[in-house]
């Protein structure tokens, strides 16, 4: 077994690999760019080596820098994690030439399967059903348009060396092919150092299901069940689960055996994933093979009890697999949510900055429920614009799917992140959707369930009552504390029991009083709820019970009330006495002016290009600029017709959120 390994990656996956290596008694070496000098994975590793400037193309993607780090640190093997160099055959070969072991598949298997075009050809030779498409390299947008019109719209333009939604675009028309072809090539080049793309038919209403395979260097290959990854946005996975609510044992066996046959055909000898696009009728087509560890591997680990990172290390060291296909049993259900640094209320624009507070829910096993949080950040750390915006992966495991979803909901409600925007409200809202809970999924789920985007809405029903109850209980507790301050006149502090709680446009009126150690909230219609909690002021999460149900709710104090987050709702709850409420209703509401004639950048990033010039007339929908943030290129379009008066940026500029890009006359 290796004594020291290097992790050629960063963030949560580097931390996750270090944890397993530490359990195996293996020393670890981290690599880091200048932007990651104080990152968690650097702190966790036994040793760390600097490898270059912040851009990945100048650090994490430079093979010579990684090889040099191995030599200087004495690492015997390298785990690439996912992304970056994990699917580059040239990287595995470069390591082999210097006598360093690559903890992953052999270079030939990577070349055959890691390249999306070559993997399609290999699958076709193995008589695996594939999605119709053009498997050759496409030279320009004219050729791309000709191919797309031959296949028929819609089509998917995909980076050959891609993954993680980068370099992947759907086109529904000739114009969209021309524009998305350029964007896909540019993203592929910046993310993977390879701008080749191909085109295939985009199957409508599909499900994304993948099979985890595991092989050793002695010819053994098994499959470890499937993962459903249909909840996607912009072709990037958001929520995953294992097993899939679609599959039955027969279909699972067919897909698994096909995945194993494909892996055996290319001599696969590590952990890998064979991805399929599946119809609602359980038909399936080979999509691609990822010759690496997947982001969503924790759900497979929880339902199988197998540590995939450990198995990759053991296989790389030459050990045979210790289990057969008949040993693999799927137990319970696991759900994973990807927590991103992005603002779901602003079309998921990337958000960067300091994590003023970062308090994930407690990990571990309790009452048959497992909570796991894979992360690469700590409180006080910085979220950089140079890398993927994922903060953490929150995973729950339980006996049934609904129990796992319930546990996931509670864990999301108990997760505190402050200082940047994040997508926890969006994830929590998905957990409440009846269609999600019923398992009626497709890759269009988010687009169909949130047609107008994700917007702030006022809570209703039981959720609104729960939020109002917690707001009233906190206000009551704080009022009691204030009354205990010595040296004050009692007449200045009200002892009224009645409270008016404002939740957006709705008002709730309730009497609040102590019920033993708990607090009772009685609404005007007679409904009475008893709240018990150990919460004290300053703690960011109110955790306790409303009646007998466990509840966790994020709390932040604001003037005259609290901002509360619960079940996907972020609500400003104002709490008044009845007298205060009468005066508050008379206060004018300040409205923001909409008269500014400017287009502002919705996210911090780098200006890639400008599509207009000063004095030019533009129509609504025309491209104004392209801004790159966290490895994704975002097109800023004109929202109305007009004339460009002034351009405030130039290509290469770094821009902040809300920075003015162009001004209209």
Token reading at 357: 């507070």
| Spatial separation of the C-alpha atoms in residues 62 and 279, rounded to whole Å | 40
No. of helices (H) and no. of strands (E), the chain: 17, 40
Of the candidates 18, 16, 11, the one whose C-alpha atom is nearest the C-alpha of residue 40 is 11
DSSP secondary structure string for all residues of 274-286: EEEEE-TTS-EEE
- Is the separation of the CB atoms in 207 and 278 below 8 Å? yes
| Spatial separation of the C-alpha atoms in residues 157 and 25, rounded to whole Å | 44
Q: Look at the alpha carbons of 577, 581, 582, 586 in this order and tell me if their dihedral is positive or negative.
A: positive
Residue 299: strand pairing partners: none
SS3 485: coil
Q: What share of the chain is helix, strand, coil (3-state, %, to 5)?
A: 30, 35, 35
Active-site annotation holder among 275, 288, 296, 342: 288
Token reading at 389: 């915006």
| Spatial separation of the C-alpha atoms in residues 434 and 206, rounded to whole Å | 19
| Spatial separation of the C-alpha atoms in residues 468 and 569, rounded to whole Å | 12
- Is the separation of the CB atoms in 398 and 382 below 8 Å? no
| Spatial separation of the C-alpha atoms in residues 312 and 321, rounded to whole Å | 10
Give catalytic status of residue 288 as yes or no. Answer: yes
What secondary structure letter does DSSP report for 491?
Answer: G
Question: In this structure, are strands 27-33 and 47-52 parallel, antiparallel, or unpaired?
Answer: parallel
Residue-wise over 311-329: b if at least 16 C-beta within 10 A, else e? bbbbbbbeeebeeeeeebe
Q: Look at the alpha carbons of 42, 45, 46, 47 in this order and tell me if their dihedral is positive or negative.
A: negative
Residue labelled with tokens 């050793």: 216
**Max Cα–Cα distance, the chain, nearest Å:** 87
Residue labelled with tokens 């999460």: 541
Residue 231: strand pairing partners: 239
- Is the separation of the CB atoms in 290 and 135 below 8 Å? no
Residue-wise over 482-521: b if at least 16 C-beta within 10 A, else e? eeeeeeeeeeeeeeeeebbbbbbeeebbbebeeeeeebbb
| Spatial separation of the C-alpha atoms in residues 18 and 22, rounded to whole Å | 6
Residue 375: strand pairing partners: 392
Of the candidates 308, 120, 118, the one whose C-alpha atom is nearest the C-alpha of residue 200 is 120
- Is the separation of the CB atoms in 66 and 8 below 8 Å? yes
SS3 195: coil
Residues in Cβ contact with 97 at an 8 Å cutoff, skipping those fewer than 6 apart:
none
Q: Which H, E and C letters describe 368-400, residue by residue? A: CEEEEEEECCCCCCEECCCCCCEEEEEEEEECC
Question: In this structure, are strands 221-233 and 236-242 parallel, antiparallel, or unpaired?
Answer: antiparallel
SS3 285: strand
Which residues are known catalytic residues?
288
């Amino acid at each position: 077994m290796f004594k020291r390994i290097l992790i050629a990656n960063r963030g949560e996956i580097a931390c996750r690999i270090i944890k397993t290596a530490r359990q195996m008694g293996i020393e670890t070496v981290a690599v880091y760019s200048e932007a990651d000098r104080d990152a968690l994975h650097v702190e966790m590793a036994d040793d760390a080596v600097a490898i270059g400037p912040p851009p990945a193309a100048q650090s994490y993607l430079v093979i010579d820098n990684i090889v040099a780090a191995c030599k200087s640190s004495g690492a015997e093997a390298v785990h690439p994690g996912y992304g970056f160099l994990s699917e580059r055959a040239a990287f595995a070969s470069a390591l082999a030439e210097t006598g360093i072991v690559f903890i992953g598949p052999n270079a030939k298997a990577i070349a055959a399967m890691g390249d999306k075009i070559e993997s399609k050809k290999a699958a076709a030779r193995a008589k695996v059903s594939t999605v119709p498409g053009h498997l050759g390299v496409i030279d320009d947008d004219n050729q791309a348009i000709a191919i797309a019109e031959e296949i028929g719209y819609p089509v998917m333009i995909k980076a050959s060396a891609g993954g993680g939604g980068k370099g992947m675009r759907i086109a529904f028309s000739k114009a969209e092919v021309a524009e998305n072809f350029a964007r896909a090539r540019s993203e592929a080049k910046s993310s993977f150092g390879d701008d080749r793309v191909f085109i295939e038919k985009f199957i409508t209403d599909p499900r994304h299901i993948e099979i985890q395979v595991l092989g050793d260097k002695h010819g053994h290959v098994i499959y470890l069940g499937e993962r459903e990854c249909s909840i996607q946005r912009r072709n990037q996975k958001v929520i995953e689960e294992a097993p899939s609510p679609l599959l039955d044992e027969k279909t699972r066996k067919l897909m698994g055996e096909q995945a194993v046959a494909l892996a055996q055909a290319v001599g696969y000898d590590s952990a890998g994933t064979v991805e399929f696009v599946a119809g609602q009728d359980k038909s399936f087509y080979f999509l691609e093979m990822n010759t690496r560890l997947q982001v969503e591997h924790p759900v497979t680990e929880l339902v199988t009890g197998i540590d995939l990172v450990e198995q990759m290390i053991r296989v790389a060291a030459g050990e045979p697999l210790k289990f057969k296909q008949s040993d693999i049993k799927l137990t319970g259900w696991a759900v994973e949510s990807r927590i991103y640094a992005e603002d779901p209320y602003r079309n998921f624009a990337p958000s960067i900055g300091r994590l003023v507070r970062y308090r994930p829910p407690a990990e571990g096993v309790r009452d048959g429920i497992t909570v796991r949080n894979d992360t690469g950040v700590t409180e006080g750390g910085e979220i950089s614009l140079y890398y993927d915006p994922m903060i953490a992966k929150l995973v729950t495991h339980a006996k049934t799917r609904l129990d796992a979803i319930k546990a996931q909901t509670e864990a999301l409600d108990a997760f505190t992140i402050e200082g940047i925007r994040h997508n926890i409200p969006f994830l929590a809202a998905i957990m409440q959707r009846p269609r999600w809970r019923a398992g009626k999924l497709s890759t269009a789920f988010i687009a169909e369930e949130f047609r107008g985007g994700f917007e702030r809405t006022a809570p209703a029903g039981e959720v609104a009552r729960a939020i109002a109850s917690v707001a009233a209980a906190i206000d009551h507790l704080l009022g009691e504390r204030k009354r205990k301050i010595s040296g004050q006149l009692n007449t200045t502090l009200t002892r009224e029991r009645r409270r008016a709680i404002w939740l957006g446009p709705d008002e709730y009126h309730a009497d609040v009083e102590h019920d033993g150690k708990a607090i009772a909230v009685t609404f005007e219609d007679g409904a009475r709820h008893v709240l018990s909690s150990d919460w004290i002021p300053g703690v960011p999460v109110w955790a306790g019970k409303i009646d007998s149900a466990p509840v966790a709710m994020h709390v932040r104090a604001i003037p005259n009330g609290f901002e509360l987050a619960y079940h996907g709702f972020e609500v400003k709850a104002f709490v008044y006495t009845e007298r205060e409420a009468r005066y508050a209703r008379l206060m004018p509401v300040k409205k923001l002016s909409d008269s500014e004639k400017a287009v502002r950048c919705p996210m911090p990033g780098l200006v890639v290009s400008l599509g207009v010039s000063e004095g030019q007339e533009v129509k609504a929908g025309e491209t104004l600029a392209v801004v790159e943030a966290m490895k994704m290129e975002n097109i800023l379009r004109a929202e109305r017709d007009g004339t460009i008066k002034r351009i405030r940026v130039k290509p290469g500029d770094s821009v902040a959120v809300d920075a003015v890009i162009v001004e209209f006359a």
